[in-house]
Amino acid sequence: MDLPLDIVFSHILVQGGAFRCEIDEVSKYRYYFVLNQNPKTDNTILLVTATTQIDRHKSKFPTNVLVEIKLSEYHQLKQDSLVNCENAHAYSKMKLKEIITSGKFEILEPLPDSIMKKLLKGLAVCKNVPPIDKQLALGEED
């Protein structure tokens, strides 16, 4: 990773910001997407990741939490993929900085609004994502 951290963060810390990296030792080099409404000011960043194991997830999770992303919709992917919104994870901004500086990392173009809307809709109906994390992306509950 050759770019200064402030430049990297200026590109990925937007709603729909996208990047590829390995989050931990057992993780694969995956696609990650930022869900936060205000990631530049939030201390916690809510991320989802894309998988190519579409059929496996479709057989185990309700369709309203799954968002398919076709290669034709987002050309940064290598193949059609799926995001399971139930697998959203919150990371501190400090942890994200460590991840970015510690290994293989690639900045991608932000997600199109059409995909972002589907992800937020899927996140809204998730049962396993804590409300405090959902609020990062969806705003305050009324």
Q: Domain 5-138 carries which CATH code?
A: 2.30.30.110
Block mean pLDDT (10 aa), the chain, length 142: 71 92 72 95 95 92 96 95 96 87 84 97 96 92 51
Output the pTM of the full model: 0.90
Helix (H), strand (E), coil (C) string for the chain: CCCCHHHHHHHHCCCCCEEEECCCCCCCCEEEEECCCCCCCCCEEEEEEEECCHHHHHHHCCHHHEEEECCCCCCCCCCCEEEEHHHCEEEEHHHHHHHHHHCCEEEECCCCHHHHHHHHHHHHCCCCCCHHHHHHHHCCCC
